Amino acid sequence: MNILKLVAEKSIYLLAALAVLAVAISLQYLQIEQIGLIGLAFLVWLVISLIFGFSVKNSLLLCSLFFIKPLPKIFYCVLIILFISLIFEYQHSHSLVIPYPVALIILLITSCYGLMRAREFYYSTQYFAATAIVPLLLFILIGNTRVKKEDFVLWTKSIVIIGILLSINGLFMALSHPEQRLGSLWITAMTINGFYILSFFFSIALGIDDKSKYKYLWFTGAIVILLGMFYTYTRMALLAVLFGLILIIIMVKKMRYVGMLILLLIPLIIPSSMASRINVGLTFDLSIILRFIAWYYAIKQIKLVPWFGMGIDVWKQWYAAIVPLDFLYVVHPHNLFLKIWIELGIFGFLSYFYIIGATIRKYYLQLVKRQNDDFNTIIFIGVLALLFACLTDIFIQQFSVSLVFWITLAFMYRLAKNKAQSEEQ
């Protein structure tokens, strides 16, 4: 472990130099408008940092604006901003702790190997960053930052406010274009539901935690976000909300009757346009069949290449060649667990889900089970609900949702670590 720590400390500047080189090369292929957008993002961060000071907390709050309209180039800007924040934090602390060092290094190595076998650059690099770079960067960054519950609460508030604004905009868009599935300002209606799931449970958690007269505004915000989800018509996301509400009824006593009431009222607040689409879905829905076929072929392929997978985002070309009929084609296996295994192999799969599982377990043991804190319990439930939704999708491997998921998980890791350290003292 000490060797890994020493290597990480000595290589941080080398990584910074390589990052600058990679950015310089990438800028050669961008149009002037795109360079201007990137420059504007860094200028805003620089101005805010000069006014309020360079800190991880300020950088995270600024980066939350990314979720209003997540674009790939801004995503890379966010990663660079967070990396610069890590360098500043390292200068202040003069020590670097790598959470889960073995798992993170194995994940990075298997992801690099998976990227080397990718057949196209654009989407494979996004998946690579979302799978390996985002968790590595955020766990090191937040894991080496002094954060308290108040910092996490502030960050969740920013996510909820953005979720409410996106939902309101999505409602207006859905009412004006009832024949289309629109994801508010996001590119797809499917992906935004991963963000909606977390922001919905964050809003409930804030309502529970807030002792002022404004607490009901957070509960109202949760209803607004839920309505925004209804109009995107993503069944698994709605089932994930239902799954989370059931867990709230079981685990949070003061929310037990409220949760049961919400479950009973859900059929009454479903919009008529949503109800008509449900009726169509009940008659015949090809997407379910497509998923089962994709899972079948994914499992067969995993048996053939169990150790190292077949490469990041290679599924698109591979599946197009072996699927029996063109209309059965899907761009990914529609299951996060299968997708990680088929791309990275068993070692990448185990390291990826070990980091997630170990963090959730520590958070549960330190802040949910022992502390019996309703805010932490609902945050815990929200993360489980998002993972539940990943049974039929790949939400947290999409670059836009991966950022909010791994920031949440890194906060959970740090807060659980703080609690364990305070008990030792």
pLDDT tens per residue across span 146-161: 888 899 999 999 999 9
pLDDT digits (tens, 9 = 90+) for 305-346: 899 999 999 999 999 888 888 888 888 899 999 999 999 999
Residues 244-277 have pLDDT tens digits of: 988 988 888 777 766 676 666 666 555 545 555 5
Bigger pLDDT: 312 or 7? 312
Helices (H), ranges, 148-188:
149-176
Q: How confident is the model at residue 19, as a pLDDT? A: 56
The answer on pLDDT for 408 being more than 80 is: yes
Position 262 scores a pLDDT of 67
Torsion region of 87: left, alpha or beta (phi above 0 gives left; psi -120 to 50 gives alpha): alpha
- Identify which of 235, 43, 24, 65 has the alpha carbon closest to the alpha carbon of residue 165: 65
Q: What is the value of pTM for the model shown?
A: 0.89
Sign of the CA dihedral running 344, 406, 186, 276: positive
User: How much is the mean pLDDT over the chain?
Assistant: 82
Token pair belonging to 109? 């190595």
Mean pLDDT lowest among 35-44, 58-67, 111-120, 173-182: 35-44
Distance CA 183, CA 97 (A): 39
Could you tell me how many helices (H) and strands (E) the chain has, helices first? 18, 0
Query: Which residue bears the tokens 């084609």?
Result: 329
Is residue 384 pLDDT above 80, yes or no? yes
CA atoms of 308 and 199, how far apart (whole Å): 35
Torsion from C-alpha of 213, 219, 221, 227, nearest 10 degrees: -150
pLDDT band at residue 280 under the 50/70/90 scheme: very low
**Across 190-211, average pLDDT:** 91
